[in-house]
Amino acid sequence: MVRLVLLPVLAALRGVNEMKKLLTLSAAVVIAHSANAELQALDDAEMSSQSGAGLGFALQDFVFSTDDASLAVTGIEDGTGNEVGIKWDQFYIMGEGSQNGAVKKPVDIGSYLHPWVVRSVRGSSDWDGDPADFYTGDAPAIGDDVAALQILTDVYTSAAQNTRQYVMDCIFASAGDCGQRAAIRRSGADIGSRFTLDFADGTNHVWNIDMRGVYLDGSGFTLWSRPDDSGQSELLGQLNLSLLAEEFQIDTCGDACTGTGSLLQIDQVYLGLNLGFGDMQPLKFSATSDGNFVLELSKPDPSSRGVDPSDRDAMLAFFNEYYANAPKSDIYIGEITVGNRTAGETVINGFRAQYLKATSIDL
């Protein structure tokens, strides 16, 4: 059963009359159930009359602002055990041109043609089939014997609208038509927030963060499960993030001053992260008995392909296939400036973790 909890929460935040939002549901089954602000939750009976593998949704003319509301994060301490007060407020998601959230400009998050999607899909890889199809389809590198849950953002094939392609061609490289592409690109979202840290010694730090022109298309999170070594079902995942912010700003001056000389600005920030590669290298989540979490990007797993681990040639072929197909990650941080000072650009090109294990510990 699905209940739409998003809208009531937002309505409480912004007020029904101001929101002017159109929330559209479309899916394989197309529940074109659009309504103006007064969306009703679907009950079990309504949902049971629908069939289909997924649900697409789009938030059009979307404006989100916490206005005067604030969120207090407690329980975080400094190294000597004193509580650090963290206040999170001024959170907004608006359309590009909102002037750091001051002008309530609406934004479209997905659309009829390019919705965000929550769906259940069968793994796309028939390991006994044509090798040319191993890494294609809706859930590449996941065996077709399991189903996976996917949450996907909007997808574009146009070279101008597909953010990852735009970044690769026009930020990491200099394709000839970048000016034209930039001119016809849709506008992005403006997202911002303010964090205030209060320390026991009276020190106070403010991070006022604003991102202009944010794009998230082509991102996705996939979850599925398989038995682990002991036969217990184990949650596996894969994260593909493609986030571009045309401009990123942090102001630490606080309310006392608004001088631009203290504003940290970055022109274009891109995070293209690919963590996990289907059954060959899933991302695993677990917890230890003492309450700590474990996040593991496992070593490339030959058993996922039925490869005999003692066969040198087969193992070499397996690793070569992994290296050739598992997507790498790229990060770009444009020139960082504060006033007339610069720290230059940062480029991390072609990052791939063959193994990563992070276990939290008590500080």
Partner 1 sequence: MRLQDVGPVFVMSGLILSASVCALEPMTDRDLSDVSGQAFITIDTSSYNQGSGNWSGDYEFTKVNLGMELETVFNIDELRLGRFEREAYVDGTVPITDDNRNILYNPDGSAQVYDSDIIIEDFALGRVDNHDDAANAAYVPFMARNPFIELAYKTENGQKRISGVRVGFDKAQGDLSGDLISVTGIVEGEIRGDIQVVYDNNCSGWNALAPNCLLLLASSDKEIYTQVDLLDGATGDGADRLNTTYLKRASWFGVPTGRNFQTDETGLIASLIPTLTRSSDCEVLGTPACFRSTIYQSIYIGDKGTDFESGSASGVFLSVQTESVPWEDLSGVPGSDRVLTDSGAFMNISRYQSGGETKYPLYLTLEEATRGTPRVATCVGRIKGC
**Window 97 to 126, contacts with partner 1 (CB under 8 A):** none
Please identify, using beta-carbon distances, which residue of 9 and 102 lies nearer to partner 1. Answer: 9
Cα gap 93→72, rounded to integer Å = 19
Q: Is 259 in the site for partner 1 (CB under 8 A)?
A: yes
**Per residue in 104-127, is it b (16+ CB within 10 Å) or e — as a string?**
bbbbbbbbeebbbbebebbbbbee
Nearer to partner 1, 11 or 146 (CB): 11
Confirm or reject binding of residue 184 to partner 1 (CB under 8 A): no
> Does position 250 bind partner 1 by CB under 8 A?
yes
Question: What are the angstrom distances between the C-alpha of 207 and each of 16, 87, 201, 355?
Answer: 30, 10, 18, 34
Measured CA to CA, the distance from residue 251 to residue 246 in angstroms comes to 17
Q: Does 254 bind partner 1 (CB under 8 A)?
A: yes
Task: Mark residues 217-246: x for contact with partner 1 by CB under 8 A, - for none.
Answer: ------------------------------
With CB under 8 A as the contact rule, the residue among 70, 99, 158, 180 that binds partner 1 is: 70
Q: Is 349 a binder of partner 1 (CB under 8 A)?
A: yes
Looking up tokens 């159930």 gives: 33
Half-sphere exposure of 291 toward its Cβ, with a 13 Å CA cutoff?
1
Q: Tokens for 27?
A: 């899916």
336 in contact with partner 1 (CB under 8 A): yes
Is residue 43 a contact point for partner 1 (CB under 8 A)?
no
Least separation in angstroms between CB 217 and partner 1: 24
Neighbours of 272 (CB within 10 A): 24
24, 112 in Cβ contact below 8 A?
Answer: yes
Binding test (CB under 8 A) with partner 1, winner from 36, 136, 303, 342: 342
State the minimum distance, in angstroms, from the CB of residue 140 to partner 1: 19
Region from 125-133, 135-143, 154-162, 197-205 binding partner 1, contact rule CB under 8 A: 197-205
What DSSP state is assigned to residue 172?
Answer: S
